[in-house]
Amino acid sequence: MMIRAALAIGLAVGILAVPLASEAQPATKVWRVGYLGYANPIEARDLEAFRQRLRNLGYVEGKNLVIESRLAGSSFEGLPALAAELVSLKLDVIAAVGNVAIGALKRATQTIPIVMINVGDPVGTGLVSSLADPGGNVTGLSNLAEGLSAKWLELLTQTVPGLTRVGVLMVPTQHATYLREIKTAGQRTGITVLGLETRGRDEIERTFAALTKARAQGLIVLPNPFTLTHQTQIVELAAKNRLPAMYPWPEFTESGGLMAYSTNRTEMYRRSATFVDKILRGAKPADLPIEQPTKFELVINLKTAKALGLTIPPSLLLRADHVIE
The per-residue pLDDT for range 51-65, each reduced to its tens digit, is: 999 999 999 999 999
Collapsed DSSP state (helix, strand, coil) of residue 243 = coil
Per-residue confidence (pLDDT) for residue 173, from 0 to 100: 62
Contact yes or no for 238/308 (Cβ under 8 A): no
Q: What percent of the chain has pLDDT over 90?
A: 67
Please name the residue ranges forming H helices in 190-261.
Answer: 201-213, 225-229, 231-240, 250-254
Based on DSSP, count helices (H) and strands (E) in the chain, helices before strands.
Answer: 13, 12
Q: Report the distance separating Cα 180 and Cα 121, nearest Å.
A: 12
Reply yes or no on whether the pLDDT at 99 is more than 50.
yes
Per-residue confidence (pLDDT) for residue 174, from 0 to 100: 64
Reply yes or no on whether the pLDDT at 128 is more than 70.
yes
Question: Mean pLDDT: which of 33-37, 73-77, 126-130 is highest?
Answer: 33-37
The domain locations on the chain are 31-144+264-287, 148-262+296-324
Per-residue confidence (pLDDT) for residue 171, from 0 to 100: 78
- The helix or strand, by DSSP H or E, that contains position 314, with its residue range, turns out to be helix 314-319
Per-residue confidence (pLDDT) for residue 1, from 0 to 100: 38
Fold of the domain built from segment(s) 31-144+264-287: Rossmann fold (3.40.50)
Q: What is the mean pLDDT of residues 96-101?
A: 91
Per-residue confidence (pLDDT) for residue 186, from 0 to 100: 94
Output the CA torsion sign for 325, 308, 168, 191: positive
pLDDT band at 20 (very low <50, low <70, confident <90, very high): very low
Per-residue confidence (pLDDT) for residue 127, from 0 to 100: 92
Fold of the domain built from segment(s) 148-262+296-324: Rossmann fold (3.40.50)
pLDDT band at 228 (very low <50, low <70, confident <90, very high): confident
Q: What is the mean pLDDT of residues 188-216?
A: 89
Reply yes or no on whether the pLDDT at 6 is more than 60.
no
Q: What is the mean pLDDT of residues 241-251?
A: 94
Sequence-distant (6+) residues with CB within 8 A of 187 are none
Q: Picking from 43-47, 198-202, 236-240, which range would have the lowest pLDDT averaged per residue?
A: 198-202
Q: What is the mean pLDDT of residues 121-128?
A: 88
Query: Where do the DSSP E strands lie in 5-131?
Result: 31-38, 65-72, 93-97, 114-119
Reply yes or no on whether the pLDDT at 317 is more than 80.
yes
pLDDT band at 9 (very low <50, low <70, confident <90, very high): very low
State the pTM of this model. Answer: 0.84
Sequence-distant (6+) residues with CB within 8 A of 91 are 32, 33, 34, 68, 112
Q: What is the mean pLDDT of residues 179-185?
A: 92
pLDDT band at 198 (very low <50, low <70, confident <90, very high): confident
